[in-house]
A and B are shown apart, each in its own frame.
Chain A
């Protein structure tokens, strides 16, 4: 298997086992701001999907500046995490999706989080697609692999 395919496989396995991601946005004036979010990923690994209520800070931040970073990891809260845990940092741009595309992407999101249906379907909630630019995959403490999405 090529390194590229191996990295993609590692990402898929990590995403399949994790339900929550840390989302970093930027507040007015540059203050970084992070949240724990339920996420889903598209089959091609090119997009991550997030849902938030429109009355949140992250929504305001995303509206003002679409650049985001996310962290998804499989730590077990043990000392061994340092060498055993895997973490991926995702960089990309978020955009709110409406219309028919929203319904298609919402299905992907709800396949992973069926119990969030009432939440995600509320008219006061927004669905965001993060177009991924790069993944930085960290394994065995300091081994870092980058995967860049070509557009």
Chain B
């Protein structure tokens, strides 16, 4: 099989090697339909590249660290980022590069081109990969074209593409990628057209914008739309757009610009041109024997078809289709900017208001029937916000990824996460808080009398406590809140600064922990990043950094806001459990909210018992748990499982912090820890970020960390390899980690653990 093929050499049987996009272009050219000058780089080239460079095994090793189903999207994103960086840093080997360069040079001779994916098996009438793989427009020069080809290859392993393949049950090991390199047709009008309107089979639909297509396809530029009657060819309706922006080619890539007023006044297409587009797509439907989704542009020489693919019936008719969700994983800058406005101006205040309104409604006085209804109502409200979390907050987190991609593309760093340091330079409240803590700990360290007084004071209110010190404590509580509220999202707080004092005493017993990074490093990094851009680009790069920082902060905060609402669900459920218990219902602590509501309404209701423990002849225990490397270094220490607020109080120096998710409210114990292990995965989670700040080894994405490891067990955390080794099971660990009360709540799937499950599970 040849590595590079011009369209006229492509026959239908080559589909599995060149992909649907190439095949359709070849067919159109044969039929005399105008298409751009095109070269197809077959899957053979991709396969040779990944074989010769050893990338194939590296990719599969990266993806098989953990069961695919156990990987959360953050982890997949991380894996994709690492894989993409491998592609960025691995040039195409000499002889393959020579073959490609010569063919490209001979065909395009320095003209700008578009580089698009054409994954074999990509599009069919039931499956559409449209938009899941990368494509680049207006690329000039062999070096740049070859780099874009590598990035199109890499996009086979983007998280969106991986997740979509997982949903379709496709085996990623069989995935391969062909690439279309096309002469760049600079149309002054462009658009998409459906030979059949997905909403009405008797019509065709045409959308068009001034300038290039990219803006329409990614949703940045609003198009004019025409609906045409298929039988008569008459325009049924024309909806005008605001036409304020236009996407134009720059020296490299494309740029969004304001549309000149005189152009904005007229629709992108005249009625004759609408007819021409309509006739062309009808012809394409006849050629391919099924309804077509066509991308086209209108240049100096008239209409040119950029690509034609089957309309996916499934996509348009199945509202559950998740491809759209996966597509939302890739957002444009403008798209993210408007999302930011919505989140900061609308959603976050809305969540805070919702939580406050709920908190103000006490449930004690309700009848059982009313309480059951209230539990259901609060669950519904919570579910609604969980949807908002998935639909709006998660996509917004992709401000971080967009920035990471731009940063890595510009600087090709060794460490694909170097950009995180630039984001972490945002002064996080938790670090300011830890500095205030360290200041108080120093006061204790330097004053033995104060330390003694505090130890006494823990038993009882101690009037002899130093006034200046207590002033600091009160000031701290005023600024940062009472640490005892941590984890519960504020649902339950101690009335005394007990937790705070205990932590301070423990900190004072040991030398202060260093924050690794100085603010100056970040400033230098920022300059280095911005220096990669010139003129208007530089301003854009600065805006993108600002967006990414906002996005990063939200990653810090969104769970907290959601947690406040769930705390109110729990308050109602807890009241229900309390009533059931006082009624003598057994095991009410283990009931889900829904079951509590049912049991309140129906005194005979008994939920299905959860699966029973098998007390057989075998005992299983974990030895090495695999997660993702999230902070370099190796450390060993006794484990401290943090499931509830009470656990934080017990934290001692050099323990390994093991938790479901490091809540921003928990980070004050991090300076005491020797390493951090987190059930949630990914580099963007708070635990990883804080661990990086303190230079601690960190492993994330260990699914059963909090159940397989017990407090007191001796563990080694390998932050290079992402491995946690359970070295010795502490004899006392069973007793120490599970006081009767905690053991009870464990079996109930403790509030906090279950809570995390609810908000990060799913999808």
Q: Do A and B come from one complex?
A: yes
Tell me, in angstroms, the Cα distance from A118 to B725 when the chains sit together: 19
Does residue A56 face the partner (Cβ distance < 8 Å to B)?
Answer: yes
Which of A55, A115, A117 is within 8 Å of B723, CB to CB? A55
Tell me, in angstroms, the Cα distance from A3 to B754 when the chains sit together: 68
- Cβ contact within 8 Å between B723 and A53: yes
Does residue B500 face the partner (Cβ distance < 8 Å to A)?
Answer: no
Residues of chain B within 8 A (CB-CB) of A57 are 623
Does residue B386 face the partner (Cβ distance < 8 Å to A)?
Answer: no
- Cβ contact within 8 Å between B721 and A124: yes
Nearest CB of A to B395, in Å: 30
- Cβ contact within 8 Å between B57 and A55: no
Does residue B727 face the partner (Cβ distance < 8 Å to A)?
Answer: yes
Tell me, in angstroms, the Cα distance from A116 to B54 when the chains sit together: 10
Residues of chain B within 8 A (CB-CB) of A124 are 634, 718, 720-721
Does residue A32 face the partner (Cβ distance < 8 Å to B)?
Answer: no
Nearest CB of A to B37, in Å: 38
Tell me, in angstroms, the Cα distance from A117 to B57 when the chains sit together: 11
Tell me, in angstroms, the Cα distance from A114 to B60 when the chains sit together: 13
Which of A114, A117, A122 is within 8 Å of B721, CB to CB? A122
Tell me, in angstroms, the Cα distance from A114 to B86 when the chains sit together: 13
Q: A114-B54, A115-B58, A123-B634 are in contact. Are A56 and B725 (CB under 8 A)?
A: yes
Tell me, in angstroms, the Cα distance from A56 to B718 when the chains sit together: 11
Q: Mark B611-644, 1 if CB is under 8 A from A, else 0.
A: 0000000000001100000001010000000000
Residues of chain A within 8 A (CB-CB) of B300 are none
| Chain A: interface size category | 10 to 19
Does residue B61 face the partner (Cβ distance < 8 Å to A)?
Answer: yes
Which of B54, B60, B727 is within 8 Å of A55, CB to CB? B727
Residues of chain A within 8 A (CB-CB) of B624 are 55-56
- Cβ contact within 8 Å between B634 and A119: no
Select from chain B the residue with minimum beta-carbon distance to A115: B57
- Cβ contact within 8 Å between B61 and A55: no
Nearest CB of B to A6, in Å: 33
Does residue B700 face the partner (Cβ distance < 8 Å to A)?
Answer: no
Q: Which A120-140 residues sit within 8 Å CB-CB of chain B? A: 122-125
Nearest CB of A to B56, in Å: 8
Does residue A54 face the partner (Cβ distance < 8 Å to B)?
Answer: yes
Select from chain A the residue with minimum beta-carbon distance to B724: A55
Q: Mark B590-630, 1 if CB is under 8 A from A, else 0.
A: 00000000000000000000000000000000011000000
- Cβ contact within 8 Å between B718 and A115: no
Does residue B716 face the partner (Cβ distance < 8 Å to A)?
Answer: yes
Nearest CB of A to B87, in Å: 15
Residues of chain B within 8 A (CB-CB) of A114 are 54, 57-58
Q: Which B625-678 residues sit within 8 Å CB-CB of chain A? A: 632, 634
Tell me, in angstroms, the Cα distance from A92 to B537 when the chains sit together: 62
Tell me, in angstroms, the Cα distance from A55 to B721 when the chains sit together: 11
Tell me, in angstroms, the Cα distance from A123 to B632 when the chains sit together: 9
Highest count of chain B CB atoms <10 Å: which of A53, A54, A56: A53
- Cβ contact within 8 Å between B61 and A125: no
Tell me, in angstroms, the Cα distance from A89 to B291 when the chains sit together: 65
- Cβ contact within 8 Å between A115 and B727: no
- Cβ contact within 8 Å between A125 and B634: no
- Cβ contact within 8 Å between B54 and A122: no
- Cβ contact within 8 Å between B61 and A123: no
- Cβ contact within 8 Å between B58 and A55: no
- Cβ contact within 8 Å between A115 and B61: yes
- Cβ contact within 8 Å between B716 and A55: yes
Q: Mark B470-481, 1 if CB is under 8 A from A, else 0.
A: 000000000000
Residues of chain A within 8 A (CB-CB) of B727 are 55
Q: Mark B720-734, 1 if CB is under 8 A from A, else 0.
A: 110101010000000
Residues of chain B within 8 A (CB-CB) of A125 are 720-721
Residues of chain B within 8 A (CB-CB) of A55 are 624, 634, 716, 718, 723, 725, 727
Tell me, in angstroms, the Cα distance from A13 to B397 when the chains sit together: 52
Select from chain B the residue with minimum beta-carbon distance to A114: B54
Q: Mark B403-422, 1 if CB is under 8 A from A, else 0.
A: 00000000000000000000
Tell me, in angstroms, the Cα distance from A123 to B727 when the chains sit together: 19
Which of B54, B634, B716, B720 is within 8 Å of A115, CB to CB? B54
Residues of chain A within 8 A (CB-CB) of B58 are 114-115, 117-118
Residues of chain A within 8 A (CB-CB) of B634 are 54-55, 123-124
Select from chain A the residue with minimum beta-carbon distance to B60: A115
Which of B60, B61, B632, B718 is within 8 Å of A53, CB to CB? B718
Select from chain A the residue with minimum beta-carbon distance to B58: A115
Tell me, in angstroms, the Cα distance from A124 to B727 when the chains sit together: 16
- Cβ contact within 8 Å between B720 and A122: yes
Tell me, in angstroms, the Cα distance from A122 to B61 when the chains sit together: 15
Residues of chain B within 8 A (CB-CB) of A56 are 624, 725
Residues of chain A within 8 A (CB-CB) of B720 are 122-125
Tell me, in angstroms, the Cα distance from A125 to B632 when the chains sit together: 13
Residues of chain A within 8 A (CB-CB) of B723 are 53, 55
Nearest CB of A to B628, in Å: 12
Residues of chain B within 8 A (CB-CB) of A116 are 61
Residues of chain A within 8 A (CB-CB) of B716 are 55
Residues of chain B within 8 A (CB-CB) of A118 are 58
Select from chain A the residue with minimum beta-carbon distance to B634: A124
- The interface of chain B, by Cβ under 8 A from chain A, is 54, 57-58, 60-61, 623-624, 632, 634, 716, 718, 720-721, 723, 725, 727
- The interface of chain A, by Cβ under 8 A from chain B, is 53-57, 114-119, 122-125
Q: Top 4 nearest A-B pairs by Cβ distance?
A: A115-B57, A122-B720, A114-B54, A55-B725
Other A-B pairs beyond A124-B718, A124-B721, 14, CB < 8 Å? A53-B718, A53-B723, A55-B624, A55-B716, A114-B54, A115-B58, A115-B61, A116-B61, A118-B58, A123-B634, A124-B634, A124-B720, A125-B720, A125-B721
List 24 A-B residue pairs with CB atoms under 8 Å apart, sorted by A's residue number: A53-B718, A53-B723, A53-B725, A55-B624, A55-B634, A55-B716, A55-B718, A55-B723, A55-B725, A55-B727, A114-B57, A115-B58, A115-B60, A115-B61, A116-B61, A119-B721, A122-B718, A122-B720, A122-B721, A123-B632, A123-B720, A124-B634, A124-B721, A125-B720
